[in-house]
Structure 1
Amino acid sequence: MTRGFVLCADDFAMTAGVSRSILELLARGKLSATGAMTSRPHWRGLAGELGTFSGKADLGLHFNLTCAAPLSAMSALAPGGELPKLGELARLALGSAAARREIAAELARQLDAFEDGLGRAPDFVDGHQHVHVLPGIRRAVLEAVARRYPPGSVYLRDPADSIAAIRARGVAVGKALVIAGLAAGLRPAAARRGIPLNRGFSGVSPFDPARDFTTDLACFLERPGPAHLVMCHPGHVDAELVALDPVVATRPLEHAALLAFAPPPGLRLARFSELA
C-alpha cells in the first residue's frame, strides 16, 4: 500500500514566469497543490487558467505580507505602499494594534480575491515566508478561516515537523528548526477551531544553486508524516522575478527536477483530502 503526500508549489501569480512553471508542472501531474499570491497583479489574468485544475489539485491562498504592494493602503504596515521585510513585519505585528487590524483586513481582501478569481473557497491557506504562523498574525488567520468556511473544509499549513525528522533529512536543518519553533502551538489552536492541518512537513531549502535539488527532494521524503506536505519553489526566471524576489537561481533548477520527478516506491502524490 502506498502512502500519499502533498507536493505544493508556492508563489503562483508572483510573476508570469513562476506562474507558467507551476501551470506546466500541474498539467504534467508533477504537483498536487499550489498556493496563489492574490495580491499580485498577475492573479486576475491567471486565475481562470489555474481554475482548470480545480478538483485535480489543491488550490490555496499563499497569504502575502512581505512581497511588493498590498491590495489596499496599509498606513501602519506599508506606509510607503510597499510591504515590509519579514523582520519588520514580525516587529509590527507584535507591537502595533493598528498593524494587526490592517493585517486582518488585508487577509480578508486576499481571500476575497481568491474567491472572486476561482468562484469558490480556497482548499487551504498558508503564508509567504510562513507569515501565517507569526505571533500577531496567526490568530487573524485562524479566526478568518474559522469564520468564513465550514469546519474541516479548508486546511492550514503547519510548517513544523519533529526535530528527529528534520535532522534525519539533513537539508537546511537550522532554518527548518527555526520555522518549526515559530509554528509551536499552531496545532492545538487550529484544533480548537476545527481547522485541519498537515501532519509532517518538509521542503525548507537553503536556496543554494550549487545543491542538487533532485537529491534534496529525495531527502524531503524521508520520514514522512501521516499527512505529509512538501513545499517547493519552481519557476522560470524573468526580469520581474530578478527585481522582486531573492530566490531566483534555484527556481529553474527545481522546475527541471520536478519535471523529471517520480515518487519513490511506497509514496504517491495526493491531495490533502485523500490523507486527512
Structure 2
Amino acid sequence: MTRSFVLCADDFAMTEGVSRSILELLAASKLSATGAMTNRPHWPHLAGELSAFSGQADLGLHLNLTCAAPLAAMPTVAPSGNLPKLGELAPLALRSGAARSEIVSEIDRQLDAFEQHLGRAPDFVDGHQHVHVLPGIRRAVLDALARRYPAGSVYLRDPSDSIAAIRARGVAIGKALIVAGLATGLRQAAARRGIPTNRGFSGFSPFDAGRDFAADLAAFLVRPGPAHLVMCHPGHVDDELVALDPVVATRPLEHGVLTTFEPPQGLRIGRFEAAA
C-alpha cells in the first residue's frame, strides 16, 4: 500500500527568486504544498500565479513575525518598522500583553491578505521559524483559526515528531528536538478546537551547503508518521534574498535535488489527509 506525505516549500513570496523556484516545482508536481508570506510586497502580484495550483497543492499562510516589515504598525513588537529576530520575539510575546495584542492583529492582517489576493481561505497555516508554536503566540493562532474558519477546513502544521523518529533520521537532531519540545501539546490544543494537524514532521536542516541534500531528503522519509509532512526551502538566489535572509546558499541546491526527486517505494507526494 502506498502512503502519501506532504512536501511543503516554505517562504513563498519572500523574494521573487524564491517564489519562481517554488512555482516551477509546483508545475513539475515535485511539491504538494507551499506557505506564503503575505506581508511581503511580492504577495499581491504573485498570488494569481499561485492560485493556478489550487486543488493540486495545499496553499497556506506562512505566518511571518520575524522577517522584514509587518502589514501595519506594531509599535511594541516592531518599533523600528521591521519585525524582530526570533530570539527577541519569543520573550517579548511571553511577557508583554501589548505585544500579544499586536500579534493577534497581525495574524488577522496576514490571513486577510491571503484571502484578499487568493480569493479564499488558506488550506493550512504554519509559521516562519515555527513562530506559531511559541508561548504567547500559539493561542492567538489557534483562536484565530477557530474563529475564522469552519472546524476541519484549515489544518495547522505541527512541527514535532517522536524522539525516536528524529534520532533515526540523524539530520539537525538538536534543532528538531528543541522545536518538538516547544510544540508539546499543540496537536491536542488544536484538536480541542476542531483544527486538524499533520502527524509526523521532518525537514529540519543545518542549512550547510556542503551537505548532500538528496541524502538528507531521503533521511526525512525515515519512519514517516501517519500524516507526514516534510518542509523544504528551495529557491533561486537574488539580491533581495542575500540582503534579507541567512538561508541563501542551500536554496538552489534544494531546488536542484527536488527537480528530479522521486519518493522511495511505498511513498508518494500528496496533499494533506488527516490521520484516522
Return the TM-score normalized by structure 1: 0.99
Percent identity of the aligned residues?
Answer: 80
Query: CA–CA distance in 2 between the matches of 1:133 and 1:47?
Result: 26
The aligned counterpart of 1:32 is: 32
- Asked if 1:142 corresponds to 2:142, the answer is yes
The aligned counterpart of 1:272 is: 272
| Poorly superposed stretches of 4+, deviation over 6 Å | none
CA RMSD of aligned residues (A): 0.8
Gaps in structure 2 of 5+ consecutive residues: none
| 1:274 CA displacement | 7.1
For residues 149-188 of structure 1, what are the alpha-carbon distances to aligned partners after superposition, in whole Å with 9 as ceiling and x for unaligned?
A: 0000000000000000000000000110001001001011
Read off the aligned partner of 2:225 and give its amino acid letter.
G
Query: CA–CA distance in 2 between the matches of 1:142 and 1:253?
Result: 34
The aligned counterpart of 2:50 is: 50
Contact 2:156-2:197 at 8 Å conserved across structures: yes
Q: For 1:272, what is the secondary structure of its paired residue?
A: coil
The aligned counterpart of 1:250 is: 250
Query: CA–CA distance in 1 between the matches of 2:217 and 2:103?
Result: 33
The aligned counterpart of 1:211 is: 211
Query: CA–CA distance in 1 between the matches of 2:218 and 2:237?
Result: 24
Read off the aligned partner of 2:112 and give its amino acid letter.
D
Q: Aligned residues, how many?
A: 276
Query: CA–CA distance in 1 between the matches of 2:273 and 2:5?
Result: 11
Read off the aligned partner of 1:164 and give its amino acid letter.
A
Q: Assess, with a 3 A threshold, how the Cα gap between structure 1 residues 109 and 260 changes in structure 2: closer, same or farther.
A: same
Q: For 2:240, what is the secondary structure of its paired residue?
A: helix
Q: For 2:251, what is the secondary structure of its paired residue?
A: helix
Q: Assess, with a 3 A threshold, how the Cα gap between structure 1 residues 93 and 186 changes in structure 2: closer, same or farther.
A: same
Query: CA–CA distance in 2 between the matches of 1:273 and 1:221?
Result: 17
| 1:11 CA displacement | 0.1
Contact 2:227-2:273 at 8 Å conserved across structures: no
Q: How does 1:119-158 map to 2 (within 5 A)?
A: 119-158=119-158
The aligned counterpart of 1:85 is: 85
Read off the aligned partner of 1:12 and give its amino acid letter.
F
Contact 1:77-1:84 at 8 Å conserved across structures: yes
- Asked if 1:228 corresponds to 2:228, the answer is yes
The aligned counterpart of 1:99 is: 99
Read off the aligned partner of 1:105 and give its amino acid letter.
S
Query: CA–CA distance in 1 between the matches of 2:275 and 2:215?
Result: 25
Contact 1:4-1:275 at 8 Å conserved across structures: no
For residues 50-89 of structure 1, what are the alpha-carbon distances to aligned partners after superposition, in whole Å with 9 as ceiling and x for unaligned?
A: 0000000000000000000000000000011000000100
Read off the aligned partner of 1:110 and give its amino acid letter.
Q
| 1:273 CA displacement | 3.2
Gaps in structure 1 of 5+ consecutive residues: none
